[in-house]
Amino acid sequence: MKKILSLALAALMVCPLLTACGGSAGKYPNGEINVLNWGEYISDGQDETLDVIEKFQEDTGIKVNYTVCPDNETLYANLKQGDSYDVIIPSDYMISRLIAEEMLLPLNFDNIPNAADVDPNFLNPAYDPESTYSVPYMWGTVGIIYNTSMVNEAITSWRALFDAKYAGQVLMINNSRDAIGVALKTLGYSYNTTDPAQIAEATDLLIQQKKDGIVQAYVMDEIFDKLEGGEAAMGVYYAGDYLSMHDNNEDLAFVLPSEGTNIFTDAMCIPVGAANQENAEKFINFMCSTEVGVANCEAIGYSTPLMSVKEALDAEITADPVAYPSDEVLAGCEAFLNLPEATLKLYDSEWLRLKA
């Protein structure tokens, strides 16, 4: 018995050791970078698209350790936990929080010549007033995605998410800022209110929505499978992702609710503690090249802040009001701003009040 078991064990042990030795050290002579991105947010070689990461590794000989996380708050936790990243792609409000907490490094734009391609409208934004820390990657809006075969009306308002008619059919977004934001807009308040009473009222609305059994689940990228597969009738998510979902399920429709919605920019930054700043800048520069920008836009459906990319894209894409809404519509959108410390704490505790 024991002999055989030890033999089997030994055999089992040899296999991984062997495969592990055939590692990748020789393949990437120029060091490595750790990249943290959102899920489904890069062209990854699936369905005959360009594998951006693979191409970067081949072109530069720099190994990319690529990880994803679901939302800005988790990204913040990862940074605080001491995980070391070289490139992160947080959203606007989180960037200003990270700048305020001195968690970002100023970029050396000599290494990022492609940043000159950024549309001037995206330069010096409110979250990074002198564009010292960030290079915009994508932008977009948040709206309601719904399945027209399951919803028999044209949805126009956030109110639809709280309609008892759709009990068990609504997917809410699973992060505090976006979810409470939806409720704030439904009530006619600003996304950036610091009034505790308004935030509490918004949370109460969400609690009622959950209690009434309207919410099926709180999701982030799980929403792709659920909406494409007809598992739920509607959900709150990002415009770009709607475009990808629509490719897989023609019944899906998207609406920017009439109360106004969130417009966001996600930008590439280098956090303090990055071990390979120069390589990180090479990566950012690479992501800003026209070829890569076009591949990313085509794969993920989000809107580009790069002028040459927008020009190179199919007219069909750039004329789509979902990805590139008219100025009039955009005027009704509001960006998230970083909130004061006390309000952030309130968001955390209100979010837990909802989830607990």
Pick from 37, 40, 99, 199: which binds other proteins (CB under 8 A)?
40
Which of 96/175 has CB closer to other proteins?
A: 175
d(CA 341, CA 347) in angstroms, rounded, equals 10
Burial of 350 (0-12, 13-18, 19+ CB in 10 A): buried
Nearest to 223 by CA among 87, 52, 46, 38: 38
Per-residue binder mask for other proteins (CB under 8 A), 232-271, x = binder:
x---------------------------------------
Burial of residue 29 (CB within 10 Å: 0-12, 13-18, 19+) is exposed
Q: Tell me how many residues contact other proteins (CB under 8 A).
A: 64
Residue 211 interacting with other proteins (CB under 8 A): no
Q: Which is nearer to other proteins, 24 or 326 (CB)?
A: 24
Binder among 175, 265, 303, 338 for other proteins (CB under 8 A): 175
17 binds other proteins (CB under 8 A): yes
Pair of tokens at residue 236:
């709150």
Distances (CA, A) of 155 to 44, 150, 256, 294, 323: 33, 12, 9, 31, 18
Per DSSP, the three-state class of 232 is coil
What are the CA-CA distances from residue 295 to residues 47, 289, 291, 306, 336 (Å)? 12, 10, 6, 13, 28
Q: Which one, of 223, 188, 201, 232, lies nearest residue 354 by Cα? A: 201
Q: Does 219 bind other proteins (CB under 8 A)?
A: yes
Which of 43, 216, 265, 308 is the binder for other proteins (CB under 8 A)? 216
Residues in 126-145 at the binding interface with other proteins, rule: CB under 8 A:
none
Among 129, 168, 196, 321, binds other proteins (CB under 8 A): 168
- Binder of other proteins out of 138, 144, 151, 220 (CB under 8 A): 220
Contact call for residue 296 and other proteins (CB under 8 A): no
| Nearest residue (CB) to other proteins, 284 versus 300 | 300
Instruction: Please pick, from the candidates 230, 314, 319, 330, the single residue that binds other proteins as defined by CB under 8 A.
Output: 230
For other proteins, the closer CB: 2 or 110? 2
DSSP3 helix / strand / coil % (the chain, rounded to 5):
45, 20, 35
Smallest gap, in angstroms, from Cβ of residue 48 to other proteins?
13
Give yes or no for residue 203 binding other proteins (CB under 8 A): no
Of 74-82, 90-98, 193-201, 297-305, the segment contacting other proteins by CB under 8 A is 74-82
- CA 335 to CA 263: how far, in whole Å? 5
Nearer to other proteins, 66 or 109 (CB): 66
Among 2, 110, 130, 328, the residue binding other proteins under the rule CB under 8 A is: 2
- Nearest alpha-carbon partner for 38 in 264, 247, 330: 264
Q: Which amino acid is at 305?
A: P
Stretch that binds other proteins, among 181-189, 191-199, 223-231, 299-307 (CB under 8 A): 223-231
* CB of residue 275 to other proteins, shortest distance in Å: 4
Environment class of residue 268 by beta-carbon count within 10 Å: exposed (0-12), middle (13-18) or buried (19+)? buried
Distance CA 93, CA 126 (A): 9
Look up residue 110 and give its two tokens: 């000599």
Q: How do beta strands 135-147 and 234-238 pair?
A: antiparallel
Closest separation in Å from C-beta 228 to other proteins: 9
Q: Which residue, 115 or 274, has its beta carbon nearer to other proteins?
A: 274
Residues that bind other proteins (CB under 8 A): 1-2, 4-6, 8-9, 12-13, 15-17, 19-20, 34, 36, 39-40, 65-68, 70-71, 73-74, 76-78, 80-85, 168, 174-176, 210, 215-222, 224-225, 229-232, 273, 275, 347-349, 351-353, 355-356
